[in-house]
Amino acid sequence: MVLKKRYIYRISFLVTITFLFSCDALYYIDCNDCISIEPASCQVEVIIGAGSNQDIPFDITVYLGKIEDGIVIDTFTSNYSGTFNALINNEYSATAVAVINDKEYRVVNSTTPVTELVQGMCETDCFTIKKNSIDLRLKYQ
């Protein structure tokens, strides 16, 4: 019995290591969200909010490329998450500024939306869009 447990532990360990170090990413694909033709643009979601569940307005500025480049493509004020149009394989940076209890808080983040070819998981090969959100939630205050 002890010998069987050793083999089970060894096999479980090898299977776990194989999954951790495999080249292909393990993920679920909803074939209804797959796109048959590779897209050139997408919607990027800007996720905002404060940890205290307060209804705080954030001033959002979206930049093409790095913030230092200074190419502003959109500005808006919102209490909730929003979206903007983006081209695939272009870098986008964003800042969110909020004033809470007379203190200014600034959150900065960036993303580069990319497409990924999905083969053998749906009826036909298709594309999914990855990295199409920017998390600008205020972690602490």
The predicted pLDDT at position 51 comes to 61
More confidently predicted of 77 and 1:
77
pLDDT (0 to 100) of residue 73: 94
Burial string for 3-21 (b: 16+ CB within 10 Å, else e) reads eeeeeeeeeeeeeeeeeee
- The DSSP bridge pattern shows strands 72-78 and 103-111 to be unpaired
Q: Please check the confidence at residue 11 and state whether its pLDDT lies above 90.
A: no
103 lies in some domain: yes
Q: Classify residue 24 as exposed, middle or buried by CB count within 10 Å of its CB (0-12, 13-18, 19+).
A: exposed
- Please say if the pLDDT value at position 140 is more than 90: no
CA 63 to chain centre: 17
Number of domains in the chain: 1
Q: Please name the helix (run of DSSP H) or strand (run of DSSP E) that holds residue 16, with its range, or none.
A: helix 2-20
For residue 21, pLDDT over 70 is answered with no
Helix (H) or strand (E) holding 73: strand 72-78
- Model pTM? 0.74
* Domain-embedded: residue 1: no
∠ Cα 49 50 55 (to 5°): 75
Residue 109 has what pLDDT?
95
What per-residue confidence (pLDDT) applies to 20? 63
d(CA 81, CA 53): 14
Q: Identify whether 7 is part of a domain.
A: no
63 belongs to a structural domain: yes
Question: How many residues does this entry show for the chain?
Answer: 141
Assigned domain for 58 exists: yes
pLDDT in tens, 89-136: 999 999 999 888 889 999 999 999 999 998 888 888 999 999 999 999
The tens digit of pLDDT for each residue in 69-89 reads 999 999 998 888 888 999 999
What is the domain-level CATH number for residue 131?
Answer: 2.60.40.2190
Domain annotation covers residue 23: no
Please check whether residue 8 lies inside any domain of the structure: no
Q: What is the pLDDT of residue 107?
A: 92
- pLDDT for 3: 65
pLDDT classification of 45: cutoffs 50, 70, 90: very high
Domain membership of residue 38 as a residue range: 29-138
Q: Is residue 119 part of a domain?
A: yes
